[in-house]
């Protein structure tokens, strides 16, 4: 028997013409996703056909109390796995009433870079590996860890199965399926090196779309953990000591890199990244210095290095890419709490422009 509440939550709205659009945006901290629902007269599949909306920016640290209105511009639509039917999730970015992007709107800055003809011609692909840690709600300690204590050392947990090694799989699986339902380009999911830590991947996506996809996948994940009474943490080093941190490794390729002779283009791009190392690190996520120590499959944050198949470098080139003389490379520096709009557009700007 379903509870009366479950019955109401599962009401089928297909007889009503109206739909619910959940408008999603990023708050003032740069990591706090916010959303609110809006009734629309019927199904919508084109973001330009959606109405703009507004919110109280003084409550998200994005506006002053005496001039608090921030305007939401709908940018991308996905199916809503929570309400289903014709209901939708809408990724938005934020503007002043005068139409200027607010200072925290990194999407708008990214679009300017991705719309540059030289960047467009290169059709930049981004595949993002998002690591995260599941924490118990009241004590902010990883799922599956003994209260106030530590599990056995790392080794048995990566891609593992079993009640003593894999903690939170139902959340991971629910998230995987919900992302596929939503129409996201989710490529896979796996258990990570630290127990209670997991990863999902956004498969290669062109330009600003990669950022939209990752933000909506994060939104769906946090909604699922909310249902389960679990906290999802994107902190790059959730537990100090001999435990792996959490990153958002960003895989990148351009038309020129994917064609014959692409490996030379990749090497040139890596040289450009080396020159701008400090600027990239500054934009690659807060608290990253706690993760990038040169241990636990990271490079030292102060040095730029690259290598083939080496997970202890800033940038890794795969064996396949080396063998075929073309392909992609992986920037291992972005932390799990990075803004994909910022990171993807910065990589494109540094390597193409």
pLDDT at site 311: 84
Per the model's pLDDT, the better-predicted residue between 15 and 20 turns out to be 20
pLDDT tens sequence across 67-106: 899 999 999 999 999 999 999 999 999 999 999 999 999 9
pLDDT tens sequence across 284-342: 999 999 999 999 999 999 999 999 988 899 999 999 999 999 999 999 999 999 999 99
Instruction: Tell me which residue of 285, 339, 348 sits closest to 93, measured CA to CA.
Output: 339
Describe the chain by its helix, strand, coil percentages, rounded to 5: 30, 25, 40
The boundaries of every CATH 3.30.590.10 domain in the chain are 117-352
Residue 28 contacts residue 70 (beta carbons within 8 Å): no
CATH topology of domain 4-104: Ubiquitin-like (UB roll) (3.10.20)
Residue 325 contacts residue 261 (beta carbons within 8 Å): yes
Distance of CA 116 to the CA centre of its chain: 23
pLDDT tens sequence across 4-17: 999 999 898 888 99
Among 2.40.110.10, 3.30.590.10, 3.90.1150.10, 3.40.50.10580, name the CATH number for the domain at 117-352: 3.30.590.10
Query: Is pLDDT at 148 greater than 90 in this prediction?
Result: no
pLDDT tier at 51, thresholds 50, 70, 90: very high
Query: Is pLDDT at 52 greater than 90 in this prediction?
Result: yes
The pLDDT mean for the chain works out to 96
Instruction: Tell me which residue of 79, 90, 99, 81 sits closest to 23, measured CA to CA.
Output: 90
The boundaries of every CATH 3.10.20.70 domain in the chain are 4-104
pLDDT at site 13: 87
Overall average pLDDT of the 156-161 stretch:
98
pTM higher than 0.85 for the full model?
Answer: yes
Instruction: Tell me which residue of 31, 25, 8, 12 sits closest to 246, measured CA to CA.
Output: 31
The per-residue DSSP string of 37-106 comes to: EEEESS----GGGSPPEEEEGGGTTSSBTTB-EEEEEEEEEEE-TTT-TT-EEEEEEEE-TTSPBPTT-H
pLDDT tier at 2, thresholds 50, 70, 90: confident
pLDDT tens sequence across 179-213: 999 999 999 999 999 999 999 999 999 999 999 99
């Amino acid at each position: 028997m379903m509870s009366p509440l479950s019955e109401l939550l599962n009401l089928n709205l297909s007889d009503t013409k109206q739909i619910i659009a959940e408008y999603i945006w990023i708050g003032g901290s740069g990591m706090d996703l916010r959303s609110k629902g809006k009734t629309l007269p019927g199904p919508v599949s084109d973001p330009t056909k959606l109405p703009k909306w507004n919110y109280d920016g003084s409550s998200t640290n994005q506006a002053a109390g005496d001039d608090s209105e921030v305007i939401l511009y709908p940018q991308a639509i996905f199916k809503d796995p929570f309400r289903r039917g014709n209901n939708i999730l809408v990724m938005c970015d934020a503007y002043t009433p005068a139409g200027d992007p607010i200072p925290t709107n990194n999407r708008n800055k990214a679009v300017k870079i991705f719309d540059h003809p030289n960047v467009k011609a290169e059709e930049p692909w981004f595949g993002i590996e998002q690591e995260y840690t599941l924490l118990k709600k009241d004590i902010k300690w990883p799922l599956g860890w003994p209260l106030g204590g530590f599990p056995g050392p790392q080794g048995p947990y990566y891609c593992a199965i079993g009640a003593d090694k894999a903690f939170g799989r139902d959340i991971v699986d629910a998230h995987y399926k919900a992302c596929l339902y939503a129409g996201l380009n989710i490529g896979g999911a796996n258990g990570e090196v630290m127990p209670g830590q997991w990863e999902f991947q956004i498969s290669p996506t062109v330009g600003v779309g990669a950022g939209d996809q990752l933000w909506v996948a994060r939104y769906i994940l946090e909604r699922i953990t909310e249902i389960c009474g679990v906290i999802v943490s994107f902190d790059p080093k959730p537990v100090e000591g001999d435990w792996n941190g959490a990153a958002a490794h960003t895989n990148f390729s351009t038309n020129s890199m994917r064609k014959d002779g692409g490996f030379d283009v990749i090497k040139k791009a890596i040289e450009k990244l080396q020159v701008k190392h400090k600027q990239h690190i500054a934009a690659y996520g807060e608290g990253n210095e706690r993760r990038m120590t040169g241990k636990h499959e990271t490079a030292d944050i102060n040095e730029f290095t690259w290598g083939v198949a080496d997970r202890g470098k800033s940038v890794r080139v795969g064996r396949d890419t080396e063998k075929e003389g073309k392909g992609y490379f992986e920037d291992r520096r972005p932390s799990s709490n990075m803004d994909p709009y910022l990171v993807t557009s910065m990589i494109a700007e540094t390597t193409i422009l």
